[in-house]
Structure formats: structure tokens, C-alpha cells
Structure 1
Amino acid sequence: MDERKSSRMYFIGKKEDLIQAKRTSVTLDGRDILIVYHQRVFYAMDLQCYHAGSTLLNGDIEEISNKLCLVCPKHKYKITLAEGEGLYRVSNLAEKVPTRLWYSKGVKQRVHKVTEVDEDIFVTLSDCPGWIESDYYQTEKGREELSKAQELDSEPDPDADED
């Protein structure tokens, strides 16, 4: 990411308004960002899920292995709010009684810094170097893919029953 863009604080809104909204999406320097207020803390991350680009705006929040996670509404991928880490659960078949445990896929979703100054909320875009999977949906190619998927979703289903 461009260093000049990543070090700039962007005004998002008044703290009280964002608390009432609980979730807000904004575009900062062409990047779609989700701001979440949960349990008295603000979080910011890329709006589209790293897996297939679905919006995270209406995803449920669950606590998994002592970490707050946003659950992608489309495919149920679990993403930690604070780190953007992807979590998955598998059974250890080597045990006599297999136990399902949560494991990390590493950071998959780009998270951004939220700062409060005098009841105003600001976001600073991530300066984490290197490619993070959610970056794809911030590129021209990724946005084209999202646009095509939305067009397909909005077309009438020819196999649907007509009333």
C-alpha cells in the first residue's frame, strides 16, 4: 500500500453516532472498509470477505477460542476482529476420542487502526506490508469479479416457480 495513504487518519464520524449504528461501511482512498462497534470497542477491516468477496456488513459476531470473530454471512468463514486472522476447526483423528479444535490460517483479512479523538472516530489504513488475501477485492480485477457475481445474483432464476 502507498505509505502516504496508510499514515493518514480519516474522519469516520462522531463516536455516539457510530455506537448507535453498530456497523458502518465507508470507502477510504478507494478501499471499502467496515467499522464495527462491539463490546465497547471499535474495529475496522476490509468490507469484503477474503474468501469469496461477500460483504461482511451483516455477519454475526461470535467468540471463538477467546477471540471475537466476525462470521461471513455467505460461507460462514470466521475472521478475528482484532487481527483479521482466519480460523477453522478440525478434529484430531489421532486421539481415541477426536476433539474438534480451532486453528489459525494466519492473517487473511486486512484490519485497520481505529482512533478516538475528542468523541470523533478516525481510521488509519493498514500499513502492514505484503499481500493479504482480502486485498484482492480492493483491486480492479477483484471489483470486476464482485460486479459480475452481483449481476448474476440479481438475474431472475429461470427454474424458479412462478406464482
Structure 2
Amino acid sequence: MDEKKPSRMYFIGKKEDLIQAKRTTVTLDGRDILLLYHQRTFYAMDLQCYHAGSTLETGDMEEINSKLCIVCPKHKYKITLAEGEGLYKATNPTEKVPTPRWYSKGIKQRVHKVTEVDEDIFVSVSTCPVWIESDYYQSEKGRAELKKAQESGDAEADVNADEDV
């Protein structure tokens, strides 16, 4: 991804149609992207979860620490809609009374810019040159892994399933 290359805006559809659909998947520049409409705002991110490639299309929505998140339906990973940040709940064992809190794993899911122009919705694919974990499932190798898992009868690739949730 070239940081200096201007990001092209792709027409996705009419605002009212996309509001009614709530979730739409599109392929832009070879990337599978999920467009969501939630609480009067549009969000766009890579379709496959960064963790094991599961589709986020049917994920539940949750608010965690005032951040809207999508929950991966397969392993329950929490991903913020606006930033693509992975969140997890844990306790700090060094505390006198360990209290569960939400912590950040950092940016794990690539998010894309959504723009509204005259009731039309456009998405600009992220040109951030930094590797983000969800990029793997947009690569040839990641896509091949997903296809192989689907052909073997597993609905999703599950290479990282032993990682802590």
C-alpha cells in the first residue's frame, strides 16, 4: 500500500438503501470490505476478522468503554468500529484486589474511510503502509488458507484459535 498514492473513493450506494441494509459487503481494490450502519454512522473495515479469518458480517454490536465494537461470531474477539482496535478483558494480578478491565491490543483490523456526498455513500480503501493483522486475510496466502478451510468442511480458517481471547 502506497502512502503517497491518493485514495480513490468508490461509490457503494444510496444512503437510504445502505441504511436499510445495515450491513453490506463489497470488494474494492481486491479487498473484501464490510460496510456497517450503526447508531446513525457508517463504518467500513476488512470483512475477515484479524484473528482467524472468520467473517464479521454477522457479528453482534457492543459498546465497550464508550467505544462501539463488533464481536467476531466465531471466537468473540472485540474490535472497535472506528479504529479497528482489538479489545480484551483481563485482571492485573499485581493489584491488591484484581478487578477485570478492558485493555487494548492495538490496531488489529484495517478500517476504511466512509464519505457521504449528496446522499451517496463512498468508501476509500485505507492506504496506510503499516501492516495490520487483518491484511493477512486479504493476501493471496490468506485467501488460499480460507478457501482450503472452506473446502475441507470447516466454515472458517482457524489457524490461531489457541490464542487467548
When the two structures are superposed, what TM-score results if normalisation uses the length of structure 2?
0.90
Deviations 1:80-119 (A, max 9, x none): 0000000011112222321001111100000000000000
- The answer on whether the counterparts of 1:6 and 1:124 sit within 8 Å (CA) in structure 2 is no
- The answer on whether the counterparts of 1:6 and 1:125 sit within 8 Å (CA) in structure 2 is no
- Asked if 1:99 is matched to 2:65, the reply is no
Deviations 1:13-36 (A, max 9, x none): 000000000000000011000000
- Aligned partner of residue 153 in structure 1, secondary structure: coil
How far, CA to CA, are the matches of 2:32 and 2:5 in structure 1?
14
How far, CA to CA, are the matches of 1:154 and 1:95 in structure 2?
41
Q: What amino acid does structure 1 have at the position aligned with 2:13?
A: G
Q: What pairs up with 1:103-114 in 2 under 5 angstroms?
A: 103-114=103-114
Q: What amino acid does structure 1 have at the position aligned with 2:71?
A: V
For 1:142, the equivalent position in structure 2 comes to 142
How far, CA to CA, are the matches of 2:61 and 2:75 in structure 1?
14
Q: What amino acid does structure 2 have at the position aligned with 1:152?
A: S
- Displacement of 1:149 in angstroms is 1.0
How far, CA to CA, are the matches of 2:42 and 2:56 in structure 1?
15
How far, CA to CA, are the matches of 2:97 and 2:16 in structure 1?
49
For 2:132, the equivalent position in structure 1 comes to 132
- The answer on whether the counterparts of 2:11 and 2:121 sit within 8 Å (CA) in structure 1 is yes
- Aligned partner of residue 95 in structure 1, secondary structure: coil
**Structure with the greater relative contact order (CA < 8 A, sep ≥ 6): 1 or 2?**
2
Hey, which bits of structure 1, 4+ residues long, moved more than 6 A? Answer: none
How far, CA to CA, are the matches of 2:17 and 2:4 in structure 1?
28
Name stretches of at least 5 consecutive residues in structure 1 with no aligned partner: 156-163
How far, CA to CA, are the matches of 2:80 and 2:150 in structure 1?
26
Answer with 1 or 2: which has the greater Rg.
1
For 2:50, the equivalent position in structure 1 comes to 50
Q: What pairs up with 1:5-154 in 2 under 5 angstroms?
A: 7-153=7-153
% identical equivalent positions: 80
